[in-house]
Amino acid sequence: MKQLLNTLYITTPDTYLALDGENIVVLKDDEDLIRVPLHNLEGIITFGYAGASPKLMGACADRKISVSFLTANGRFLASVVGTEQGNVLLRKKQYRISDDENGSVAIARNILLGKLYNSRGVIERSIRDHAMRIDAIKLKAASGFISESIQRMRIVETLDSARGIEGEAATRYFSIFDELILQKKEDFFFHARSRRPPSDRVNAMLSLAYTLLSAEVASAVSSVGLDPFVGFLHRDRPGRRSLSLDLMEELRSVFADRFVLTMINTRQIEASDFLQSEDGSILLRDEPRKKFLTAWQVRKQEKIEHPFLKEKIEWGLVPYVQASLLARYLRGDLDEYPPFLWK
């Protein structure tokens, strides 16, 4: 359990949520794990649960406290909110800013600053930790290019300009991605990003990791009352969760890319774990995919210090914190959206 930004996150599996007076009680096997006064809370998000009492849900609805239910893997299921819960006002503000170029740029700029900063951080970490095993000069050049892109991004005034800077930096980042692969280079190599279909084992793993991350962010966005289909950087398109794609940008390199690199560089994955489908795409076999998903869940439980909150949290809670910070910005509680800046 963790309380952040007046939201209680319950990550212990098979818990039951109940009400005792003015407190929410989290129980597991009839044992009280934690009690939190309801008046301290704006929201409750629970990952994997045995149930929740109607009395608790009614009390939360009366007090305008949202209760969001997610699977243990982070897939959004449903939220319970009261009739006067302010999500409609929050979403109307989201829609207005999405339709406004200047308002969208203010958010998109910070999101992309986070993406560029974190991409550069991944490169710099590799230079620091593996200088003797990589082409450090090549990586330093890429890092320098992204550093210059960060400075250009700080003063960007249009979405097209922001996308152009980000696109150039992403091309430079992926141009050195193969250098970050340290093991079994004959089996795991990266020449360019290929999506539909993934053309090699590394792209197959990246695509799966990005899919998992996108689902995490979509659940986070929904749990705080935002519309995952209305973004600021990614524009509206039927069926596309544009806001989820926005917020995952700053987490791609530091969570998904580093996870894939760890799976390869620690030899947790083998060339024989993949198969080629009829359309030519490379995919993980069933059992290795389960291993991949298990390792993903383990990584989500690792603790980091959130750079804005200055508190220790699990990696898996980062999307929920970022979604909450965005909601606070839209409500006017923050002067700007603070992106996740990995350290």
- Model pLDDT for residues 99-110, shown as the tens digit of each residue: 999 999 999 999
Mean pLDDT on 265-273: 93
In whole angstroms, what is the distance from residue 14 CA to residue 27 CA?
Answer: 9
Lowest mean pLDDT among 97-111, 154-168, 291-305: 291-305
- pLDDT at residue 257 above 50? yes
Q: What is the pLDDT of residues 18-60, one digit of tens each?
A: 999 999 999 998 889 899 999 888 778 887 778 899 999 999 9
Rounded CA separation 337/332 (Å): 10
Is residue 34 within 8 Å of residue 1, measured between CB atoms?
yes
Mean per-residue pLDDT, 195-216: 86
Residue type at 294 in one-letter notation:
T
Query: Above 60 in pLDDT, residue 5?
Result: no
- H or E element that contains 2: strand 2-4
pLDDT grade for 75, boundaries at 50, 70 and 90: low
Residue bearing the bigger pLDDT, 72 or 288: 288
> Residue 284's pLDDT is what?
85
Percent of the chain with pLDDT over 90: 58
**What pLDDT was estimated at residue 74?**
62
Q: Higher confidence at residue 74 or residue 325?
A: 325
Helix ranges (H only) for the chain are: 54-62, 87-98, 101-129, 136-154, 159-175, 201-223, 242-248, 258-265, 286-300, 318-331
**Cα dist. 86→61, 76, 291 in Å?**
12, 20, 41
DSSP code string of 56-113: HHHHHHHTT-EEEEE-TT--EEEEE--TT-THHHHHHHHHHHHT-HHHHHHHHHHHHH
Q: Which two tokens stand for residue 273?
A: 């774990």
Mean residue pLDDT across the chain: 89
Confidence of residue 84 (pLDDT cuts 50, 70, 90): very low
| Structure confidence at residue 256 (pLDDT) | 95
The reported pLDDT for the residue numbered 86 is 52
Q: Tell me the pTM.
A: 0.80
Report which of 231, 257, 225, 259 is spatially closest to residue 244, judged by C-alpha positions.
231
CA distances from 189 to 147, 170, 202, 265, 278 (A): 26, 18, 7, 12, 22
**pLDDT (average), residues 159-177:** 96
pLDDT, average across residues 273-297? 84
Amino acid identity for residue 271 in this structure? A
Residue of 89 and 70 predicted with greater confidence: 89
d(CA 124, CA 242): 30
